[in-house]
């Protein structure tokens, strides 16, 4: 009698996915908690920019965030191309960055990337 040579495929838990998902959730709540403390500033683009660049400290934070967001968009563009994923996803990441914050869009991108890499690894495994 022939015995089956099939080895059961065991999926390991990807802890990074849960970490990225956690930071996506926290990163979507935390910025809006602070922004909601001053609703007048949110309704006026002039007041918002005045508050953002009010002093050297806030200007440093804002500048750092702007450079980080631009670097993230470049990385996302290249990574989506490398993984052969529709680059229309970049529109979602840009929207999340400007609508919620980089603290939401970056971990969400990393979560989706892990998800896609995990699916491809599982599909390619024997």
How many angstroms separate the CA atoms of 36 and 38, rounded? 5
Q: Parse the chain into domains and list their residue ranges.
A: 41-121
For residue 88, what are its two tokens? 């229309």
State the pLDDT at residue 7: 47
Which residues have C-beta within 8 Å of that of residue 105, sequence separation ≥ 6?
A: 27, 72, 93, 94, 96, 97
Whole-model pTM over 0.75: yes
Please list the rounded mean pLDDT of every run of 10 residues in the chain (126 residues): 52 85 97 91 91 95 97 97 94 96 97 92 64
């Amino acid at each position: 009698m022939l015995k089956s040579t099939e080895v059961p495929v065991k999926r390991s838990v990807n802890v990074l996915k849960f970490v990225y998902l956690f930071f996506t959730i926290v990163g979507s709540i935390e910025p809006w908690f602070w922004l909601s403390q001053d609703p007048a500033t949110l309704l006026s683009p002039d007041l918002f920019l005045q508050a953002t660049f009010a002093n050297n400290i806030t200007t440093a934070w804002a500048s750092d965030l702007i450079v980080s967001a631009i670097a993230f968009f470049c990385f996302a563009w290249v990574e989506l191309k490398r993984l052969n994923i529709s680059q229309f996803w970049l529109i979602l990441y840009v929207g999340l960055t400007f609508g919620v914050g980089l603290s939401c869009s970056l971990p969400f991108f990393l979560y989706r990337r892990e998800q896609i890499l995990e699916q491809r690894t599982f599909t390619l495994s024997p």
